Amino acid sequence: MVLPLVDEHKPKCYLCHDMFENIEELRKHQETAHKEFIEFHKKSQQRGPAPGDVTVF
């Protein structure tokens, strides 16, 4: 069975797989429906050297 490639160009929420017309609607959806998930992962992201990284001057 072959599925049609309808609306493949539209952005899709990776958490609930809903499709949206544009990226702004997707951002609004994620900020409201998945607020706890987004906030948790924003806080846990740390930008720094990984263990064992060597800095060359």
Nearest to 19 by CA among 28, 8, 4: 8
Rounded CA separation 13/30 (Å): 8
- Confidence band, pLDDT 50/70/90 cuts, at residue 34: very high
Q: What is the pTM of this model?
A: 0.61
Please check the confidence at residue 4 and state whether its pLDDT lies above 90: no
Residue 22: per-residue pLDDT: 93
Rounded CA separation 39/32 (Å): 11
Rounded CA separation 24/30 (Å): 10
